[in-house]
Amino acid sequence: MKRWNIIALAAFIALTVVVLLINPRLGQKIQGTFLAMITPFLKSGSELEKKITAVRVGLKSLEELEEENADLLVENKKLRATNQLLAEVQTENAQLRKSLDFRERSTFTLVPARVVARDASAWWNSIVIDRGSNDGIRPEMPVVTDQGLVGKTTTVDDNVSRVVLISDENCKVAVVVEGSPDKGILWSVTGTRVSDPAVPELTIRFLPKTASLKPGQKVYSSGLGGVFPSGLLVGEVIDFTVRELDAQAKVQSEIDLATIEDVFVIVNQTEEEEEPETERATPVAPQPTAPRPKPTEIPVARPVRPSSPN
Amino acid sequence: MALFALVLACFFASLVVQFLVPPIDALHHAKMILTPVFLSYIALAFEYPFVLAFAFIAGFVWDALTVQFIPRQGSLAVEIWLGWSIILYGVVGSLMHGMRPWFQRGKWFVHPMLSGLSASAIVLVEYLMISLQRMEETHLFFFPGSLWIRVLGHGLICLIAALPFCLIFSLAAKLFRFEIIPEESRGRL
């Protein structure tokens, strides 16, 4: 063996040992730095990919466009009607809260973000978003879309963050099922660990044996654990089984995690003492050419606590 | 040295591509791992210290970009240690470098096969390490058929990426007497 080869091998072993001794905190900082370094390229690549897709999707016939337009008009009318109804409910809710002297009401501040990359590794399910600590994002903040919960942030740098998806086994959510007092822990303990990342096999575990859930019941985060606030839609029950010691329910998320493009990070939850304003903004997906949207505050369905009689 | 820097630049560009290319559904969501392709080229075209240097850089950057840090009870946990890929790429690179005589004897398919095998090995070792870490919680160690399809799928993608690469160099050697292996090391093979 040549002398230079021996020196190179010794240096290689020494440097590898040094890297292996790096503690996770420093490792996470290094990850943030590397992600920040490649994010400009990922953003450009992602934009190019979107443009190519847009050209492909944009090539529609006149008939298809007419059909799509008719569908959108129907949907628009439906949403207007729902919006009207919700406005009435909100006014009623505000009046009732005032009369009952409820003290707290939670609101979320949402930061819209764009997915710039997906995990390149084989076994983890995560995405990279184009917002970071400069936008108020910190590790372990919930990430949502208008269809429900997506995951939580892990590594955060100035302008980029990594989000672990709910389809990853490391993302656990304390949940409650609509119309049921039973609570459990939801996570993607798949039967195979090689399931389709776009359609995660989510399971609620540790439900009591006495629980009785039916397919179609909505599943919401319960707020336990401190990371995910209560009231975030996770999915709906598709199957329920009672086992020897506990019960389990399979849950399907409505979000296609493989094609998700725009998300919102819940950067903080504020507890308001005053009644919220009548009109509040609702989350809107950021437009591709629009400047960076400002954080949006929205109220959510969350169990409220009456103020102390004293 | 300039060529090595150029290969490194191409490797960094390939990392961006690997993050953007979606998984292949037909291969149970196998993804594109191109590092072994670069490693096989480096092993053929450069001296051993360069192979180790590339294994270190590639392994470190790959781990830094992909390893997951999980907050647990106020601290951070890792399922795969930052730096383990360096060891694996170091071993694979040394093996590839040691098998250069095969390439010189016209067996151009050996290095692409090694690239494919190493891509599968990397994915399988990752799976075993993750499964061992998660045993405490799930008490499960799965080995379904779909796992092997995904593992071999990674290798297949890498093999397909490396095949034309080595074939071109082999043809160039036959047709134009171009030698990928450095002149100073040819005599020792």
Q: What's A2-43 look like in SS3?
A: CHHHHHHHHHHHHHHHHHHCCCHHHHHHHHHHHHHHHHHHHH
Asked if A158 and B56 count as a contact pair (C-beta separation under 8 A), the reply is no
Considering only residues A147 and A97, tell me which one the structure prediction assigns the higher pLDDT: A147
The tokens for A60 are: 């529609």
Of the ranges A90-94, A173-177, A267-271, B3-7, which one carries the lowest mean pLDDT score? Answer: A267-271
The alpha-helical segments, DSSP class H, found in chain B are: 2-20, 35-45, 48-66, 84-98, 100-104, 110-138, 145-176, 183-186
Contact B127 A123 (CB under 8 A): yes
Asked if the C-beta of B134 comes within 8 angstroms of chain A's C-beta atoms, the answer is yes
d(CA A54, CA A51): 5
Contact B69 A35 (CB under 8 A): no
- pLDDT tens digits for B42-71? 888 888 999 999 999 999 999 999 888 887
Averaged pLDDT score across all residues of chain B:
83
Residue A256: what pLDDT? Answer: 85
In sequence order, the 6+-apart residues with CB closer than 8 A to the CB of B140 are: A189, B131, B134
Q: What is the least distance, in Å, from the CA of B128 to any CA of chain A?
A: 11
A15 chain-B contacts, CB cut-off 8 A: 56, 86
Contact B29 A197 (CB under 8 A): yes
A16 chain-B contacts, CB cut-off 8 A: 56, 83, 86-87, 90
**How does residue A295 score in pLDDT terms, banded at 50, 70 and 90?**
low
* B187 pLDDT higher than 90: no
* B185 pLDDT higher than 70: no
* A250 pLDDT higher than 70: yes
Query: Looking at this predicted complex, what is its ipTM?
Result: 0.84
Asked if B165 and A212 count as a contact pair (C-beta separation under 8 A), the reply is no
Give contacts of B 28-47 with A, CB under 8 A: 28-31, 33, 47
Residue B60: what pLDDT? Answer: 94
**What are the CA-CA distances from residue B57 to residues A17, A18, B53, B128 (Å)?**
14, 13, 6, 24
* A121 pLDDT higher than 50: yes
d(CA A202, CA A58): 34
**What are the CA-CA distances from residue A242 to residues A7, A187, A291 (Å)?**
62, 18, 51
Asked if the C-beta of B60 comes within 8 angstroms of chain A's C-beta atoms, the answer is yes
Contact B78 A27 (CB under 8 A): yes
Contact B71 A41 (CB under 8 A): no
- pLDDT tens digits for B80-93? 888 889 999 999 99
Q: What is the mean pLDDT of residues A105-128?
A: 83
Residue A302: what pLDDT? Answer: 45
pTM of the model: 0.77
Residue A190: what pLDDT? Answer: 58
Q: What is the mean pLDDT of residues A255-275?
A: 74
* B118 pLDDT higher than 60: yes
For B17-44, letters b (16+ CB in 10 Å) and e give ebbbbebbeebbbbbbbbbbbbbbbbbb
Residue A205: what pLDDT? Answer: 86
Q: What is the mean pLDDT of residues A124-147?
A: 90
Q: What is the mean pLDDT of residues A153-167?
A: 91
For B66, the closest chain A residue by CA position comes to A121
Averaged pLDDT score across all residues of chain A:
80
Of the ranges A178-182, B104-108, B137-141, which one carries the lowest mean pLDDT score? Answer: B137-141
Contact A46 B20 (CB under 8 A): yes
Considering only residues A307 and A293, tell me which one the structure prediction assigns the higher pLDDT: A293
In sequence order, the 6+-apart residues with CB closer than 8 A to the CB of A33 are: A157
Of the ranges A186-195, A255-264, B46-55, which one carries the lowest mean pLDDT score? Answer: A186-195
